[in-house]
Structure 1
Amino acid sequence: MSAPPVPYFSQWESPDLVKAIVTGAMSAADDPRWPESGAVSAQEYEFWSWRSCGMACLRMLLAHRGQVVPPSVELAKECERFGGYVRHENGVHGLIYAPFLSWVADRFGLTGEVRVDFGVPALRDLVAQGHPVIASVHQTIREPESSPPTRGGHLVLVTAVDESGLYLDNPSGLSSGSQLGARVEDEDFERFYAMRAMVFDRTD
């Protein structure tokens, strides 16, 4: 089956500039659409944009449910206040799943649960039943033929499956082909996947 019509949000405001940003050809602070993020400055936008894959996935879930979608940096800072991100001297620790799920339940009425040691077959089954899944993968999954150095560290929204693959909405996808409904074979996904995820209730 093809991926369902989920509105796409990148973790950067300009999806067409993601390749230039992630390859270092331009700074995220030079994204001309940064004010749309709700940041108070281009520098604040740059700081959070590299850490906002989870907020992009949340925005896609909200849009898919027809709910109001707040700006990305506003969401990130609110999530931080509720413990979903924790600042440290070198940056930010997170997304931390448990406080994030408590926050989105209270704030948006989104019910989800953490799954660990969550293999691809179980993930596939729940997605096939209509449950959106935010999964932890290595960021280089945007190039599924590559060999990731580790697993995890980046979040994608898994929206659909077919006989041998998964469809991902990837907040750091480089182009239209790797952003909305990007198809990844099961065996490729496994090489990037950290066996951790958040499973959400179906959208009926």
Structure 2
Amino acid sequence: MLLAHRVPMCRQRIDHDEWERHGGAALGDRAEWSDRACGMAALRMILLAYGQEPPSLTELVQLGVEKGALTERGWLHAGIASLAEVYGVPGRAEPVPAEELIDRLKTAPLIISVTEKFPEDGRKGGHLVVAHGFDPGAGTDPLILFRDPSGWGQENDRVPLSRLSASYSGRAITFPTVTRTIAVLGEMLELGETAAEEHQAVGRMVGEGGIDKLIVVGNSPNVVQLTAGALAGGVPEVARVADNHTAAAYLETIVRPGDKVLLKASRGGELWQIAQELFGQPITGH
């Protein structure tokens, strides 16, 4: 089953207007700095993934230079980790063997040092990308999902672990467990003629409330309306299951450490059974 953290894409090519607006010309040529901005673009993606409001890429480059995070050999991992902490996301520069990447990606995205375009000619490191998930597939060589801020990365977003390992330096910047909020909702009973409208409204509210994943339980017309409202409201992931037992089984396959799971429906939906099943308690109700 594919696992992916939500990480928005940021390009390392710096927009001309942004460069001028924030005084980037004081650093030199915009095109040259765009070629060197992978570390700050990767940092910006991480900050967005953790719900922060980062400054522009130009401002991050300026700050990185000011704080000594850039050397002739490239961006210092420890420097990027320190900058992340300035914006409320603790980071740590450390070695992470390729064989440990899958386990690390189960709980958080990573900034990893690879060679651009993942060549297999012995070159290692020199370019920073964000690894944000994996797809185990059916074989023995899982795919690593990544956000690459280079031009090539705009059309490529996954690579076999074996190919990544060939150009991976073994060094990464790690971050805390990503906390997701998963809502499990059932039908609201006894609403009368406004039931369809109210269920759609609740679905839209889920999207507005920043819920990461919604699981809707049941097959009634009202549940269908709730699902439609959630999709219209922009909930990133919506799944519909037939009953409480199926919901509990599905949750067991997707819940990760740090996740928050919210259960809510009319009492007649007996959604407490889902929690009981997850915690191995006796199932009560009918």
Distance 1:151 1:85 in 2: 19
1:39 CA drift (Å): 4.7
Cα deviation for residue 149 of structure 1 reads 4.9
Counterpart pick for 1:197 among 152, 172, 180 = 172
Mapped to 2, the partners of 1:47 and 1:94 lie a distance apart of 13
TM-score when normalising by structure 1: 0.75
Q: Does 1:100 align with 2:80?
A: yes
Give the 5 Å matches for 1:1-204: 1=2, 3-13=4-14, 33-37=15-19, 38-41=22-25, 43-86=28-71, 92-105=72-85, 107-116=86-95, 118-128=96-106, 130-141=107-118, 146-163=119-136, 164-174=142-152, 176-178=154-156, 182-204=157-179
Change (3 A) 1:3 1:34: farther
Q: What percentage of residue pairs aligned between the two structures are identical?
A: 28
Equivalent position amino acid for 1:172 in 2? S
- Corresponding letter in the other structure for 1:166: I
Q: How many residues align?
A: 170
Q: Which runs of 5+ in 1 are unaligned?
A: 14-32, 87-91
Q: Which amino acid aligns with 2:24?
A: V
1:132-191 residue CA offsets vs partner (Å, 9 max, x unmatched): 1100000122xxxx434511000010000121111010011426431xxx1111111111
Structure-2 separation of matches of 1:4 and 1:101 = 19
The residue identity in structure 2 corresponding to 1:34 is: H
Contact in 1 for aligned 2:69/2:80 (Cα 8 Å): yes
Q: Which consecutive residues of structure 2, in runs of 5 or more, have no partner in the other structure?
A: 137-141, 180-286
The amino acid that maps onto 1:196 is R
The answer to whether the 8 A contact 2:74-2:126 is kept is no
- Partner of 2:171, secondary structure, is strand
Give 2:83's aligned amino acid. W
Code of the residue aligned with 1:136 in structure 2: it is S
Name the Cα RMSD after superposition. 2.0
